[in-house]
A and B are shown apart, each in its own frame.
Chain A
Amino acid sequence: MAKKTIGKKAARKKTTAKKASGKSANKSANKSANKSANKSANKSANKRTRKTSTKNIAKKTAKKTGKNASKKSTKKAVRRKSGTNSKDVVVYAASKDGAAEQRHCIAVLVRNEAGVLARVVGLFSGRGYNIESLTVSEVHTGRKLSRINIVTRGTPRTLEQICAQLERLVPVLSVADLTLIGASVERETALLRVIGSGTHRLESLRIADMFRARVVDSGHEHLIFEVTGDSGKVDAFIRLMEPIGLTEISRTGIVALNRGAGI
C-alpha cells in the first residue's frame, strides 16, 4: 500500500502555530515556512506521538502576530509539551474546547472504487463535521486513484480528528491537511449566466475584464462567464454580477495543491 505521503501529525503539531497565523503571513513567509515545514515533516515522518496540547497551540497562535512564524517559536511550542497544565484541557464536544475554528483544506487520496465518496461524505455527516467545499476526480487512471479535496471548518482538535478518522477508511491511501503542511494554492472555477442587454451587458463585460473572466457562451440576451481564482475572487465576482442580471451559477468547488516542490 502506498506510503503515507507525509508525517502529517508531526507536521501538524509543528506547524499549526505557524499556519494559523494568517494567510498573509503565510504568503510572505512562504518559502521559508514551507521549507521548514517540509523538513520537520520529513524528519519525524511516521512519528506518531502527539505531544503538544492543541489548546496550547491555539493560545500561542492567538498571541502570535503576523510574520514571526520562525523556527524558534515552533520549537518552543513543541518543548512546552510536558509543561501542559491539564487544568486548561477542557474537552468534550469540539466546539467546547475553547479554540477558535479554522478553515482547512484537506486532500484525500483514495482508491477509486464504488462507494468511496459515500464513505468519506458519510463520515463527515455521521460525525457532525462540516463540509464547505468538496471536489473529487480521478487523478491517476492507471492506478485508479482519485483525489478528494475537502474544505472544512473546525477547531484544531476537530481537524485532527477529521484527518485521523479519514485515515481509518480502508480505501483511503493518504490524508494531507494542506493548510497545516504549508501554504497552498486554492483555485475554483465558476460559470455564471448573466441575462441583460445595453448598459448592463457592457458593465458585465467590463467587470469580467477586471476579473480576467472569459466569455464562453454569448447570445443577444445572455452571456456565460468563466472565472477562475480563489474562493474570495469568485465570491467577489458573483457579488458584482448579481445586480446586473446574474441568473445562474455553477461552481466547481475548491481544488488545491500545496506550494513548493511537493510532499
Chain B
Amino acid sequence: MNGAQMIIRALRDHGVDHIFGYPGGAILPVYDSLFGDNRVNHILVRHEQAAVHAAEGYARSTGKVGCALVTSGPGATNCVTGLTDALMDSVPVICFSGQVPTHLIGTDAFQEADTSGITRACTKHNYLPTSVEDLPRILHEAFHVASSGRPGPVLVDLPKDVQQKKALYHGPEHYRGQERYPRRRPDPAAVEEALDLLATAKKPIVYFGGGVINAGTTASKRLQELVRYLGVPTTSTLMGLGAYPAGDPLYLGMVGMHGSYESNLALHGCDLILCVGARFDDRVTGDLSAFSPNSRKIHIDIDPANINKTVHVDVALIADAGDALTALLDGVKKRRLKIAAKPLANWWKQINQWRERKCFSYEQAKKGAIKPQHAIARLDALTRGKDVYFTSEVGQHQMWAAQLLSFDKPNRWMTSGGLGTMGYGLPAAIGVQVAHPEALVIDVAGEASILMNIQELSTAAQHHLGVKVFIVNNEWMGMVRQWQELVYEGRYSQSYTASLPDFVQLAESFGATGLRVDAVEDLDDTITKMIETPGTVIVDCRVIREENCYPMIPAGAAHNHVLLGDEKGKRRGSTDSGLSLV
C-alpha cells in the first residue's frame, strides 16, 4: 500500500466519510487514490480556507473529526485562518497538505512552503512524516490528538515521495495504549471541595461554554439535570449556546460583551460561579479587575492551562465536562445538597428584576423598514420545531443571532467565536449540510462577511447542498460602524461597503435562488419561501442601517456598566485602557 492509499484507508478506519479539499501538484497521489473510491466522499471547495471551515462545520455539528485535503504552498497557507479558527474554538480538524518531495524540501521548490513551520503556532500539533513507514502511526496519532483532551486542529504535511512509496499499513488498533491524552477523571477530593462551596452558596450561577458541547450530548444532559436539581440560574458563552435549552426559565441567555443584561449582572453579583467548559475569555469577563468581585469560582476544564489563566479560581476540576458534571451530580444527590431556600429565592427575585429590563427589546414599526433584530427574531420563530442548524459569519448579525435565536440542542450553532473569522459561515454551513443532508441549514450572514467566502456558492451548487444564506444587509460593516459611532465619535473610516453586488442576481449566477426583502410586511413570506425552496437560497434582507447591537459592555468596563439600547444618550464609553483591549 502506498502512502496515498494509507491516507484514504486511515480516513475509513476512523469513520471519516467526507473530506473537503482542493487538488494540486503535491497532493496528486492522494487524489489519485481517491479516484473511483466512493467510500470517502470528496467535496470540492473553491478555496482552501473554506475546506477547513467546512471541516469545522462538519465536526461541530457531528462531534466527529472533520478532514481537509489541500496541496502544498498556497494550498497550505490558505488553510492557516481555518486552522487558527479551529484552534481557538477547540474543533477537531485534520488537514492533510501536500508537500514537495523530501529531497526538494529547503530548496525553494515550486509551491514549496515551510508548512509545518507556518502552522506550528496555529495547530494543536503538526507532523511532517519523512518516511512512509512512519505514516500509519502518524495518521492514527493525528486522529487521537485532534479528538482527545481539548480538541483541536492537526496538520499532516505529506511530502510527495512519502505519498508514493509503499510500506505496510497497520490499523489504529495496532497503536492502542500509546495515547498521549488518556481520559482524565475528576479528582474526588476536588469534587468534594466543589460540593462544599456549592453547599454554602447563596447566590450561585452556572456559567458554561463550548466544552460542554465538545464533551458530547450526555454532558449537556448532565448540565441540565444539575442546574434543574439545584434550581440555580445558568448562562452560556457564545460557544456554549444550545447545551442548555434557551426557553428554560432557569436560563438567563448569553453572557459577555453583547450578552443579556440579567446574565451579566448575575455573573457580576453572584457569590459562586460554577464554570463548566468555558475559559473566562476577555469578551466574557470584560474588566478583569472588576470581574465578579465577590464570588468564589469552581472551574471545570479539560485543559490544565485554562485554570488560573486569566481569572483565579478556588477549585479546579480538570476533566471532561461530562465526567465532572456526572461526579458533581452524583455528589449533590448523595449529599441531598440544596441551595438554602431563602437566599436563593432572594437571588431569583433580584434576577427577575433585571430580567424585567427586557434588554433585547426593540421597536419594530408595523410597516416599512426592517429592524435587523426583528429579521432574526422572525427567522427564529419560523424555523422553530424544525430540524435546523445555524451557522453565522462575524459581526452584529452574529451577536443578534446569538441573542435571539433559541437553541434547544447542542451542536446546532456553528460560529467563529475565538478568532472571529468573517467568511466562516457559508463554508461551515456547507460542512453541516454535508453531514446532515436532510436538515435545514441556515447561515446568518452580514453582507460584508459573506463576500469573504462567497465563492463557496459554487461548491454548494456543485454538490447540491441546499444551504440557506440569510444576509442581514445594512451595507455597513456593522460592528465596525458601531464602534466608530460609540468610541471614535462617528468617524466612519472605511466601514461602508460601496458597490455591493446585487445578491439576487449573484445567487442566480451561481444557480441558486435569490430573494430580496426590504419591508417588514413581506418578511415572513420571504423567510418561509427561503425555507421551502429547495436548493441553495440567498435572502438579501435589507435592514435599517444605523441599528446598534445592545446590550454592550464597553471595552474594559465591568459587567455592571453594561450599555442598553434605550439609554443611548447617556453614553458611558470605554476607558483608555479598555480601548487597548480592542
A and B from one complex: yes
Q: Name A's B-contacting residues (CB within 8 A).
A: 1, 9, 46-51, 53-55, 81-82, 84, 86-87, 89-92, 114-115, 118-119, 122, 126, 157, 160-161, 164-165, 167-170
Question: Contacts of A90 on B, CB cut-off 8 Å?
Answer: 288-289
Shortest distance from the beta carbon of B526 to any chain A beta carbon, whole Å:
46
**Of the residues B190, B288, B289, B296, contact of A48 by C-beta under 8 Å:** B190
Question: Contacts of A89 on B, CB cut-off 8 Å?
Answer: 311-312
**Of the residues B190, B289, B307, contact of A164 by C-beta under 8 Å:** B307
Is B64 in the interface zone, CB < 8 Å from A?
no
Shortest distance from the beta carbon of B125 to any chain A beta carbon, whole Å:
4
Q: Mark B298-325, 1 if CB is under 8 A from A, else 0.
A: 0000011101111111111110000000
Is B116 in the interface zone, CB < 8 Å from A?
yes
Is B499 in the interface zone, CB < 8 Å from A?
no
Is B18 in the interface zone, CB < 8 Å from A?
no
- In the assembled complex, the Cα of A169 lies from the Cα of B304 at a distance in Å of 12
Q: Is the CB of B304 within 8 A of A82?
A: no
Shortest distance from the beta carbon of A116 to any chain B beta carbon, whole Å:
10
Q: Is the CB of A161 within 8 A of B316?
A: no
Is B193 in the interface zone, CB < 8 Å from A?
yes
Q: List 18 A-B contacts (CB under 8 A).
A: A1-B180, A46-B187, A49-B187, A54-B312, A55-B312, A82-B197, A82-B314, A84-B312, A84-B314, A90-B288, A90-B289, A114-B128, A161-B305, A161-B308, A161-B309, A167-B304, A169-B125, A170-B145
Contacts A47-B187, A167-B304, A170-B124 given; does A91 touch B288 at CB 8 Å: yes
- In the assembled complex, the Cα of A89 lies from the Cα of B297 at a distance in Å of 12
Question: Contacts of A49 on B, CB cut-off 8 Å?
Answer: 187, 189-190, 193, 315-317
Task: List the A residue with the shortest CB-CB distance to B145.
Answer: A170
Question: Contacts of B196 on A, CB cut-off 8 Å?
Answer: 82
Contacts A86-B294, A91-B289, A91-B310 given; does A51 touch B315 at CB 8 Å: yes
Give the bracket for the number of chain B residues in contact with chain A. 35 or more
Question: Contacts of A164 on B, CB cut-off 8 Å?
Answer: 304-305, 307
Q: Is the CB of B304 within 8 A of A122?
A: no
Q: Name B's A-contacting residues (CB within 8 A).
A: 116-117, 120-121, 124-125, 128, 130, 145, 178-180, 182, 184, 187, 189-190, 193, 196-197, 288-289, 292-297, 303-305, 307-318
- In the assembled complex, the Cα of A84 lies from the Cα of B180 at a distance in Å of 35
Question: Contacts of B182 on A, CB cut-off 8 Å?
Answer: 1
Shortest distance from the beta carbon of A172 to any chain B beta carbon, whole Å:
10
Question: Contacts of A169 on B, CB cut-off 8 Å?
Answer: 125
The residue among A55, A89, A165 with the most chain B CB atoms within 10 A of its own CB is A89
Question: Contacts of A167 on B, CB cut-off 8 Å?
Answer: 304-305
Shortest distance from the beta carbon of A104 to any chain B beta carbon, whole Å:
16
- In the assembled complex, the Cα of A1 lies from the Cα of B196 at a distance in Å of 35
Q: Is the CB of B308 within 8 A of A54?
A: yes
Task: List the B residue with the shortest CB-CB distance to A92.
Answer: B288
Question: Contacts of B295 on A, CB cut-off 8 Å?
Answer: 86
The residue among B121, B304, B312, B317 with the most chain A CB atoms within 10 A of its own CB is B312
Q: Is the CB of A118 within 8 A of B117?
A: yes
Q: Is the CB of A84 within 8 A of B296?
A: yes
- In the assembled complex, the Cα of A220 lies from the Cα of B150 at a distance in Å of 63
- In the assembled complex, the Cα of A82 lies from the Cα of B198 at a distance in Å of 13
Contacts A51-B193, A82-B314, A119-B120 given; does A157 touch B289 at CB 8 Å: no
Contacts A55-B312, A122-B121 given; does A92 touch B180 at CB 8 Å: no
Shortest distance from the beta carbon of B305 to any chain A beta carbon, whole Å:
4
Q: Is the CB of A115 within 8 A of B307?
A: no
Shortest distance from the beta carbon of B308 to any chain A beta carbon, whole Å:
6
10 shortest interchain CB distances as A-B pairs: A164-B305, A49-B190, A170-B125, A48-B318, A89-B312, A92-B288, A164-B304, A90-B289, A165-B305, A91-B288
Q: Is the CB of A48 within 8 A of B145?
A: no
Shortest distance from the beta carbon of B85 to any chain A beta carbon, whole Å:
17
Question: Contacts of A46 on B, CB cut-off 8 Å?
Answer: 187
Q: Is the CB of A126 within 8 A of B121?
A: yes
Question: Contacts of A55 on B, CB cut-off 8 Å?
Answer: 312
Q: Is the CB of B314 within 8 A of A51?
A: yes
Q: Is the CB of A86 within 8 A of B179?
A: no
- In the assembled complex, the Cα of A157 lies from the Cα of B47 at a distance in Å of 42
Q: Is the CB of B120 within 8 A of A91?
A: no
- In the assembled complex, the Cα of A251 lies from the Cα of B513 at a distance in Å of 69
Contacts A91-B289, A170-B180 given; does A115 touch B316 at CB 8 Å: no
Contacts A47-B189, A55-B312 given; does A1 touch B178 at CB 8 Å: yes
Question: Contacts of A115 on B, CB cut-off 8 Å?
Answer: 116-117, 120, 128
- In the assembled complex, the Cα of A89 lies from the Cα of B187 at a distance in Å of 25
Shortest distance from the beta carbon of A113 to any chain B beta carbon, whole Å:
9
Question: Contacts of B178 on A, CB cut-off 8 Å?
Answer: 1
Question: Contacts of A119 on B, CB cut-off 8 Å?
Answer: 120
Q: Is the CB of B314 within 8 A of A81?
A: yes
Shortest distance from the beta carbon of A100 to any chain B beta carbon, whole Å:
17
Shortest distance from the beta carbon of B47 to any chain A beta carbon, whole Å:
26
Q: Is the CB of A9 within 8 A of B304?
A: yes
Q: Is the CB of A168 within 8 A of B296?
A: no
- In the assembled complex, the Cα of A87 lies from the Cα of B314 at a distance in Å of 13
Q: Is the CB of A168 within 8 A of B288?
A: no
- In the assembled complex, the Cα of A168 lies from the Cα of B303 at a distance in Å of 8
Question: Contacts of A47 on B, CB cut-off 8 Å?
Answer: 187, 189-190
Task: List the A residue with the shortest CB-CB distance to B299.
Answer: A50
Shortest distance from the beta carbon of A155 to any chain B beta carbon, whole Å:
11
- In the assembled complex, the Cα of A210 lies from the Cα of B328 at a distance in Å of 64
Question: Contacts of A82 on B, CB cut-off 8 Å?
Answer: 196-197, 296, 314
- In the assembled complex, the Cα of A25 lies from the Cα of B182 at a distance in Å of 39
- In the assembled complex, the Cα of A50 lies from the Cα of B117 at a distance in Å of 34
Task: List the A residue with the shortest CB-CB distance to B150.
Answer: A168
Question: Contacts of A84 on B, CB cut-off 8 Å?
Answer: 296, 312, 314
- In the assembled complex, the Cα of A47 lies from the Cα of B197 at a distance in Å of 19
Contacts A49-B189, A84-B314, A126-B121 given; does A157 touch B308 at CB 8 Å: yes
Task: List the A residue with the shortest CB-CB distance to B314.
Answer: A84
Question: Contacts of B289 on A, CB cut-off 8 Å?
Answer: 90-92
Question: Contacts of A160 on B, CB cut-off 8 Å?
Answer: 308
**Of the residues A1, A50, A168, contact of B307 by C-beta under 8 Å:** A50
Shortest distance from the beta carbon of A80 to any chain B beta carbon, whole Å:
11
Question: Contacts of B311 on A, CB cut-off 8 Å?
Answer: 89, 91
- In the assembled complex, the Cα of A107 lies from the Cα of B313 at a distance in Å of 26
Question: Contacts of B179 on A, CB cut-off 8 Å?
Answer: 1
Task: List the B residue with the shortest CB-CB distance to A166.
Answer: B305
Q: Is the CB of B316 within 8 A of A50?
A: yes
Q: Is the CB of A48 within 8 A of B316?
A: yes
Question: Contacts of B317 on A, CB cut-off 8 Å?
Answer: 49
- In the assembled complex, the Cα of A147 lies from the Cα of B307 at a distance in Å of 26
Question: Contacts of B120 on A, CB cut-off 8 Å?
Answer: 115, 118-119, 122
- In the assembled complex, the Cα of A102 lies from the Cα of B259 at a distance in Å of 39
- In the assembled complex, the Cα of A51 lies from the Cα of B125 at a distance in Å of 30
Question: Contacts of B308 on A, CB cut-off 8 Å?
Answer: 50, 54, 157, 160-161
**Of the residues B125, B293, B307, B309, contact of A86 by C-beta under 8 Å:** B293
- In the assembled complex, the Cα of A90 lies from the Cα of B317 at a distance in Å of 22
Question: Contacts of B309 on A, CB cut-off 8 Å?
Answer: 161
- In the assembled complex, the Cα of A133 lies from the Cα of B37 at a distance in Å of 53
- In the assembled complex, the Cα of A115 lies from the Cα of B127 at a distance in Å of 9
Q: Is the CB of A92 within 8 A of B310?
A: yes
Shortest distance from the beta carbon of B270 to any chain A beta carbon, whole Å:
11
The residue among A48, A115, A122 with the most chain B CB atoms within 10 A of its own CB is A48
- In the assembled complex, the Cα of A133 lies from the Cα of B67 at a distance in Å of 40
- In the assembled complex, the Cα of A211 lies from the Cα of B145 at a distance in Å of 50
- In the assembled complex, the Cα of A9 lies from the Cα of B124 at a distance in Å of 22
Task: List the B residue with the shortest CB-CB distance to A53.
Answer: B312
